[in-house]
Structure 1
Amino acid sequence: MLSALLKKHLGHMHVIYLHGFQSNHRSVKGQLLAAYCQQHVPEINVYLPDLNQSPHAVVQRLDQYIQDHTDKHLVCVGSSLGGFYANYLASQYHLPAVLINPAISPWQLFNSRFGHHQLPFAITTDWTLTQDDLNYLQYDMAHKPQDLKKILLLLQQGDEILDYRHAARYYHAEDSQCMMILEQQGDHVMRNFADKIPMLLMFLVHRCLSRNL
């Protein structure tokens, strides 16, 4: 059904998958998504960038990818810190997005985990977290998308890293039209993600259709 919709109305679609903190472009969820699309919906290309850089460098890379693919139907899927990046892309470029246990205020999380006295802190061989990074996350990237109908929020109450209620409150103000699926138990990784892939792809395709038709 997805292939038929794409062939008839959209052609090809590009999914930008944004992994979480201390993960990389080989993240399990990203690989599951790419494998599913390759097998079942080859009209969907999955882009898996490595985000282990400063937030400013990540934004430059993602902005460039979007500028290079303005002729494509672009959507994004992000997990944890990647969910924060996906929120940024949705707000800046009005892209449909799926957010998986997203970080809402990552600068607060980093402050509580590392503290000002530990900065700069080496996260990977390619990224050392600085106070400038935290400021950039907070003041340059924290913008809620205007069209929340394009957002699908996937939360699990058992998330041991992030309090799911922060994201639920952030996206579900009184007049919000954001779609949210909240599951009991679960965890931050969302181990049943593979079961959700057909549903989230259908959501993204239909949001592209509503913009295109």
Structure 2
Amino acid sequence: MIVYLHGFRSSPQSFKARLLAARLAGLGRSAEWLCPMLPVSPAEAIALAEREIAARLQANGSGDAGDAGNARKASERVTLIGSSLGGYFATYLAQKHGWRAVLLNPAVVPDRDLSKYLGEQPLWHGGGSIVVEPRHLDELRSLALARVTQPERYWLIAATGDEVLDYREMLAHYPDVPTRLIEGSDHGISEFADYVDDVIAWCDAP
């Protein structure tokens, strides 16, 4: 299963999510794709992602997560792809569950970065808005990890031209993680179509 976690104010309609979904569909692998719409609350976003992943694994016959052996087998079937704030969530979930994760320009200190977005904020896709509350920053802080273990389970893709987040913070936060550093580009990785097949191949690797 490949699980995409979108970023702040984004959605499953982000262009990176749509590119990945279309590519997997072209490969006849749509059943492996999961891309939930995440709520504004980080705690609720994590809980939702865990519920949807568990439900999909159960539906696919991966076993009861309460069984240690089946839980181990289930974890081997999950790879996360997290973009921006979704990369922060993916890091937390991968560390907690032993899953693998591709991190696309991930947020490193989102409670700091989002402190200037308190209040009502418009969504990028489909209209509507969210309301960012101080408690959401506290929830973000509760998910912080000083470092990841088993860095080989992660792949960092960072763009030096990211206009929203500092790629140098990403490199410092994931010092031992295999990394593809893109010279230039932007926060959204506008040329992501050039990397879709590489990302899927990494997800498929043992």
Q: Provide TM-score, normalisation by structure 2.
A: 0.83
Structure 1 residue 65, shift from structure 2 partner = 1.9
Q: 1:59 to 1:91 in 2, by over 3 A?
A: same
What are the superposed Cα offsets for residues 149-201 of structure 1, whole Å, 9 maximum, x if unpaired? 010100110000001000001001xxx2x110001111001011111111111
1:191 aligns with 2:195: no
Q: Answer yes or no: is the 8 Å Cα contact 2:156–2:179 preserved in 1.
A: yes
Query: Which residue in the other structure is 1:123 paired with?
Result: 121
1:26 aligns with 2:13: yes
Mean CA deviation greater in 45-54 or 62-71: 62-71
Structure 1 residue 146, shift from structure 2 partner = 1.4
Secondary structure of 2:32's counterpart equals strand
Structure 1 residue 131, shift from structure 2 partner = 1.3
Alignment root-mean-square deviation, CA = 1.7
Structure 1 residue 132, shift from structure 2 partner = 1.2
Unaligned runs of 5+ in 2: 63-73, 123-127
Q: Provide TM-score, normalisation by structure 1.
A: 0.80
Unaligned runs of 5+ in 1: 1-13
Structure 1 residue 136, shift from structure 2 partner = 1.0
What are the superposed Cα offsets for residues 40-69 of structure 1, whole Å, 9 maximum, x if unpaired? 252762111111331111111011123221
Query: Which residue in the other structure is 1:81 paired with?
Result: 85
C-alpha distance in 2 between matches for 1:167 and 1:57: 25
What are the superposed Cα offsets for residues 62-101 of structure 1, whole Å, 9 maximum, x if unpaired? 1112322161511110111111111111111111110001
Q: Answer yes or no: is the 8 Å Cα contact 2:2–2:33 preserved in 1.
A: yes
> 2:172 corresponds to which letter in structure 1?
R
Q: Answer yes or no: is the 8 Å Cα contact 1:54–1:128 preserved in 2.
A: no
Q: Answer yes or no: is the 8 Å Cα contact 2:8–2:85 preserved in 1.
A: yes
C-alpha distance in 2 between matches for 1:39 and 1:84: 29
Identity of aligned residues (%): 29
